[in-house]
Amino acid sequence: MTKPLKPGSKYGRILTVEDGWLTCPNCRRNKRLKRIEPTEDAERVGVFCRDCKNEIYITIKQGQCYESRSQ
């Protein structure tokens, strides 16, 4: 079992993942924004919400999602 990552200067705010699906952090209406696997790692993935028409960039580490900060 892996320890949860703590948000620091490298990571942004933690996003909500319920039942393996990312919830839109802006409108919270789209409960199935992107499927997140527990072992998935990715950086700066663009995700578009059909409900609020916003695109956010996320970083995924060990199955936890963080909103990417601009570099």
Listed by start position, the domains of the chain span 17-67
The predicted pLDDT at position 59 comes to: 92
Decide: 30 and 47 in contact? Cβ < 8 Å. no
The predicted pLDDT at position 62 comes to: 87
71 residues of the chain, pLDDT tens digit each? 445 555 454 667 888 888 999 999 889 998 999 999 989 899 999 999 999 999 999 999 988 889 886 55
Nearest to 32 by CA among 44, 15, 49: 49
The predicted pLDDT at position 6 comes to: 56
Residue 21 backbone dihedrals phi, psi, to 5 degrees: -120, 135
Tokens of 41: 């790692």
**pTM confidence score:** 0.73
